[in-house]
Amino acid sequence: MRALVVVENPSRWPFDVEGVELVSARAYLTEDRYSALRGAAVFNICRRYGYQSVGYYVSLLAQARGHRPIPSVTTLQSLGSSSVVRLVSDDIESLIQKSLAPLLSDEFTLSIYFGKNLARRHDALARALFNEFPAPLLRARFVRERGEWSLVGIRPIPTSELPDEHRPFAVEQATRFFRRPAAPARSENTRYDLAILWRENDPSPPSDARAIRKFVKAAQAQGIRADVIEPDDAARVAEYDALFIRETTAVEHHTYRMARRAEWEGMVVIDDPESIIRCSNKVYQAELFRRHRIPTPATLVVHEGNTGDIEKCVGLPCVLKRPDGTFSRGVVKAEDRADLLRILPELFKESELVIAQAWTPSSFDWRIGVLEGRSLFACRYHMAPGHWQIVRARGGRQNRYGKVEAVPMAEVPEEVVDIAVRAATLIGPGFYGVDLKQVNGRCVVTEVNDNPNVDAGQEDAVLKDELYLEIMRVIRRRLDERGSQGRKISR
């Protein structure tokens, strides 16, 4: 995606970076060549951002042209709201306390220029706020009360508020920000840009490196240029047309914040924020499946007042699940009452509610991949050797996994596919992995996961490259549909 830096006086921004065009605001607003330009990221560094100012119109018209303005009009308007600062994550709260602890004053203002502050000790906090609230120039205000620092305001600042003594540093940081490895140029048959969020050092990624390369190749075949990005690239998400998350998701996590930001910007997103919320909480799924009569193991939503009902409702042994546990994590087997008394207090430290499910042992779980309400692939996930779960955690040592056996859809019992699709459709129209068991002639859903595993040589063993192509076809179709309806214009 072509990068434009729009300023009112280009002579005051003396930086020269290959692949980045410095444009005057007047030229961007009035010249036909910019109006006709396709696929541009517009970094708006104007002197004023107020309603109907030059800076306001740069972001507004950029959205009307299908460009990606940073900041967007939504960002310009929302960051002035006190409610926005209450949305900062626990990670940022921790950074605030750590970064500002040495200060003697009870008030502090942090200037952030492309994710950096003049004082290097504040770099981590500046970067986190820049990723959370992407705008080239930001100013954040903090106050300390009863020994705790709080963010009380953050807003994009126009260049008119940039102190003269800070300008050289701001120019330096703009140069650093844009001087990144150039993305491959779009070929003539490439129409869209896709960001694939993936971390090479993720201890349990949903896709391995080979699978990611296959996703990139499949995207290219569908006219989409794909870049692999990392969490530190959060501020760049709005430069793309779509976001495909290939990192284990959670609500209090950068994956959710990036999905929310992308959806906010009108992008195509898999996994979307609503799916992350719904799949991250087993209490929600228990209530949803009960209401819609999706068969599950006997299940009880447990709180501190009904722990005595567990044995009567689900029996012992049973499985206790933390609501936000994923892929065998946060899932514990209780053999007897003594185990319940030992395990439940620890789980209640993390959540007001816990899930208890009947113990339903099996040699494997079915995993059905569902995309837009259609079954896509099927696997048998066998239990880890000598263990009752698919994954056997071994403390500081490498986890052990059970065998993954891909199965042609035609060989999967019809009941398994039908129940999986019904359960996934209740969650949404996204990409899900439904886990089921067949026990004593009965098929039950144990959970629905967003961000399902797709590893080369495992989940793709039957469909091969067609699995990656089908996912990219869906993304391409959604992009085309969004384009025909017009991009969302933030108001």
CA dist., res. 461 & res. 154, Å (int): 49
Longest dimension (CA), the chain: 76
% of the chain with per-residue pLDDT over 70: 90
pLDDT-derived band at 81, boundaries 50, 70, 90: low
Which pLDDT does position 356 carry in this prediction?
Answer: 94
Strand order in the sheet with 2-7: 20-24, 2-7, 40-44, 68-70
Which pLDDT does position 368 carry in this prediction?
Answer: 98
Residues 8-31 have a mean pLDDT of: 87
% of the chain with per-residue pLDDT over 90: 61
Which pLDDT does position 491 carry in this prediction?
Answer: 29
Domain 192-271+474-485, CATH number (from 3.40.50.150, 3.40.50.20, 3.40.1160.10, 1.10.10.10): 3.40.50.20
Q: 320's torsion region: left (phi>0), alpha (psi -120 to 50) or beta? A: beta
98-120 pLDDT, tens digit per residue, is 999 999 999 999 999 999 999 99
Window from 276-285, 416-425, 426-435 with minimum mean pLDDT? 276-285
Residues 215-220 have a mean pLDDT of: 97
CA dist., res. 30 & res. 85, Å (int): 35
pLDDT-derived band at 186, boundaries 50, 70, 90: low
* Cα distances (angstroms) measured from residue 485 to each of 169, 223, 225, 482: 42, 19, 22, 5
Which pLDDT does position 329 carry in this prediction?
Answer: 67
Mean pLDDT of the chain: 88
**What is the number of other CB atoms lying within 10 angstroms of the CB of residue 109?**
9
263-274 pLDDT, tens digit per residue, is 988 899 999 999
Topology of domain 279-463 in CATH is: D-amino Acid Aminotransferase; Chain A, domain 1 (3.30.470)
Residues 229-256 have a mean pLDDT of: 90
Residues 366-386 have a mean pLDDT of: 92
CA dist., res. 213 & res. 193, Å (int): 16
Which pLDDT does position 261 carry in this prediction?
Answer: 85
Window from 176-180, 389-393, 418-422, 432-436 with minimum mean pLDDT? 389-393
Decide which of 94 and 491 is more confident: 94
pLDDT at position 153 over 60? yes
Residues 293-299 have a mean pLDDT of: 95
pLDDT at position 485 over 70? no
Which pLDDT does position 204 carry in this prediction?
Answer: 83
pLDDT at position 78 over 80? no
Residues 169-193 have a mean pLDDT of: 74
* Cα distances (angstroms) measured from residue 131 to each of 313, 328, 387: 46, 30, 41
pLDDT at position 487 over 90? no
Residues 172-196 have a mean pLDDT of: 75
Strands 40-44 and 68-70: parallel
Which pLDDT does position 77 carry in this prediction?
Answer: 72
Task: Break the chain into its structural domains and give their ranges.
Answer: 192-271+474-485, 279-463
pLDDT-derived band at 176, boundaries 50, 70, 90: confident
pLDDT-derived band at 488, boundaries 50, 70, 90: very low
Beta carbons of 303 and 353 less than 8 angstroms apart: yes
